[in-house]
Structure 1
């Protein structure tokens, strides 16, 4: 399964990055995440975090790529499925950004996982993108109160 969404955010890249990199505060931006426990601090390459989401088993994610203020990718493994999630910030000339969130599942059980939870996964990634946009614009004073 592959799913990605891009959202334009009327906020500075630094504001958006601060929100993305503060994974323990994600539950305040979206109902798709109940709790995040950062297992290795600071959040950087090789860091691990346990993510608790409604209707899904808790998963430990390991940061596999990290470029401060621009992107991070992390992955989680469960029996027969490897899930990779990318978080990319593209700066625009007007000072705003476009954020791309992508998720890929591979492995022998990935097709079954997609059938069972694909719709939920797509909904959660969309909720996360929209929550990030709303919070970044709120902090920048450009979004709705």
Structure 2
């Protein structure tokens, strides 16, 4: 009699446990976001001072950064496109960033759009790109010509 009672209780326990697992289980996400920031303010991550204003060196450096993150299983890049009320893209009202060209408002020579470039390079690697802006920082220096 006792064994029947124990087996019955075990059966009820497993029934409750499996039902609870079905009711409270969280669905698996369709995919996992594994992202990393690339900061441009003060040339923290890109472009480094070593590349200067050389467009081809900037591009190669960015490609190396993306390749490194891809090898680390990252699938999302958060790229800072407006570090200080300036821009790392060729459209819009904001002037070009001094962190890209060395001089505020000066476009890269030869001309290229870093945002277009990084979008294309991320997509080649099957990575997403999210543009990151800093909406509150107007400047890190007192420059009378800056917005």
Larger RCO, structures 1/2 (Cα 8 Å, 6+ apart): 1
Is this a same-fold pair by TM over 0.5? no
> Which has the larger strand fraction?
1
Structure number with greater Rg is 2
Instruction: Report the TM-score, using the length of structure 2 for normalisation.
Output: 0.26
Instruction: Report the TM-score, using the length of structure 1 for normalisation.
Output: 0.26
